[in-house]
C-alpha cells in the first residue's frame, strides 16, 4: 500500500469509525465504501491510482478497525447510509462523490436516491441494489431472521491457528478473492485471540435481513439518482448474469462498463485495479 495513506479515526455522535485517507487536502471529496465483511483495504490498490482526489476509505461499522454497534442495534443498509452521511458532516463535506464496491455500492445508491442534493457522482464496482424480497415472503423472512438472532449467542467465530489458514478461508469465501487480495483484507480484518486469530467483524453481520426492499423499492431508488453514475461490472462477478440489473438501468443516462475479472477485480491484482482506475479517474475528476 502507498506510503501516502493515513490512518484516521472518526468520532461520530453514535459510533467511532476507522478509515484510510488518500490524496491531497484540496482534492475532490470522495467517500469509498467497501463490501460486506471486507474493510478499507478493499481500496488499497485502487485509491492510490486515483489522482487529485481526497479519498476517505471507511471501515463500515462492525468491520475492520471500526467499532461494533451497541447491543440491540442492527446493521441495516439504511444505518450504513446514515453513518456515511454523519462522516460527511464531520468532514464538512456538503457535496461529495461515492466510490462503492458491492454492499458499498448499494449503500451509495440508497444515499444518492434519498439525498440527491448531497451526492456529486457515483462510481460503483459490481454492485447496484440489494437483494430484494416481495411482500408475500416477508413474514417467513422475518421469522427466519428472528430465529437466527436468538441462536447467535451460541455460535462461535472460527479461530485459525495461523494467518495463512484465515487467508485461505477468505479466498474461498463469498465473493472469492485472489491470494494477494485475501492477504490485504486479512491484514486489517484479523485479530489475535487465544489459540490463534479470528476476524474482527461483528458476528451480527452474518444474520439474515429481517426485511428486504421489494423490486419496486429498488427501482425507485435507482430512478431517484440524479447525479452522474458509472458502473463497472465484472465479467466473472456477481452481477454479470443478472438481466434485472440491465433493466433497472434502461433509459437512464448512466455509464456501464464490463471488465474481465471477478467480484473484487479492483483488489485481486494490479491489472484489474489499473483498468478500474482508467474508468474512474476521468469520471470522478470531472
Structure confidence at residue 103 (pLDDT): 98
The CATH fold assigned to 6-133+214-285 is Rossmann fold (3.40.50)
Rounded CA-CA distance 202/195 in Å is 19
Confidence bin at 2 (pLDDT 50/70/90): very low
The Cα–Cα gap between 31 and 100 comes to 8
In 65-205, beta strands by DSSP E = 96-101, 119-125, 190-193, 196-199
**Residues 209-240 pLDDT 10s:** 999 999 999 999 999 999 999 999 999 999 98
pLDDT of residue 271: 98
Share of the chain above pLDDT 70, in %: 99
d(CA 93, CA 85): 9
Q: How confident is the model at residue 275 (pLDDT cuts 50, 70, 90)?
A: very high
pLDDT in tens, 131-185: 999 999 999 999 999 999 999 999 999 999 999 999 999 999 878 899 999 999 9
pLDDT at 1 over 70: no
Domain extents in the chain? 6-133+214-285
Is the pLDDT at 71 greater than 50, yes or no? yes
Furthest-apart CA pair in the chain: how many Å? Answer: 55
CA nearest to 210, candidates 143, 135, 152? 143
3-class DSSP state for residue 105?
helix
Give the mean pLDDT of the chain.
96
Task: Kindly list the catalytic residues.
Answer: 102
Among 71, 70, 54, which residue's Cα sits nearest to residue 19?
54
Pairing label, strands 16-22, 96-101: unpaired
Amino acid at each position: 500500500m502507498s506510503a501516502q495513506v493515513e490512518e484516521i479515526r472518526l468520532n461520530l455522535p453514535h459510533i467511532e469509525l476507522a478509515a484510510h485517507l488518500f490524496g491531497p487536502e484540496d482534492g475532490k471529496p470522495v467517500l469509498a465504501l467497501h463490501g460486506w465483511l471486507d474493510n478499507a483495504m478493499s481500496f488499497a490498490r485502487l485509491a492510490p491510482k486515483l489522482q487529485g482526489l481526497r479519498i476517505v476509505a471507511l471501515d463500515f461499522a462492525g468491520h475492520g478497525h471500526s467499532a461494533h454497534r451497541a447491543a440491540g442495534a442492527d446493521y441495516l443498509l439504511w444505518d450504513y447510509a446514515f453513518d456515511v452521511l454523519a462522516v460527511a458532516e464531520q468532514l464538512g463535506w456538503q457535496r461529495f462523490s461515492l466510490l462503492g464496491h458491492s454492499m458499498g455500492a448499494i449503500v451509495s445508491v440508497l444515499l444518492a436516491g434519498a439525498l440527491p442534493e448531497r451526492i456529486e457522482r457515483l462510481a460503483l464496482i459490481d454492485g447496484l441494489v440489494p437483494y430484494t424480497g416481495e411482500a408475500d415472503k416477508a413474514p417467513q423472512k422475518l421469522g427466519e431472521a428472528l430465529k437466527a438472532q436468538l441462536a447467535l449467542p451460541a455460535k462461535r467465530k472460527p479461530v485459525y491457528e495461523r494467518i495463512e489458514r484465515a487467508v485461505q478461508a477468505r479466498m474461498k469465501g463469498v465473493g472469492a478473492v485472489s491470494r494477494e487480495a485475501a492477504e490485504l483484507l486479512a491484514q486489517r480484518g484479523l485479530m489475535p485471540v487465544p489459540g490463534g486469530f479470528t476476524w474482527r467483524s461483528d458476528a451480527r453481520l452474518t444474520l439474515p435481513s429481517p426485511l428486504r426492499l421489494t423490486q419496486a423499492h429498488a427501482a425507485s431508488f435507482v430512478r431517484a439518482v440524479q447525479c452522474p453514475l458509472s458502473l463497472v461490472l465484472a465479467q466473472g462477478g456477481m452481477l454479470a448474469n443478472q438481466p434485472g440489473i440491465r433493466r433497472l438501468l434502461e433509459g437512464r443516462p448512466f455509464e456501464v462498463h464490463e471488465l474481465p475479472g471477478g467480484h473484487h477485480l479492483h483488489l485481486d491484482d494490479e491489472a484489474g485495479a489499473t483498468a478500474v482506475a482508467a474508468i474512474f479517474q476521468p469520471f470522478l475528476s470531472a
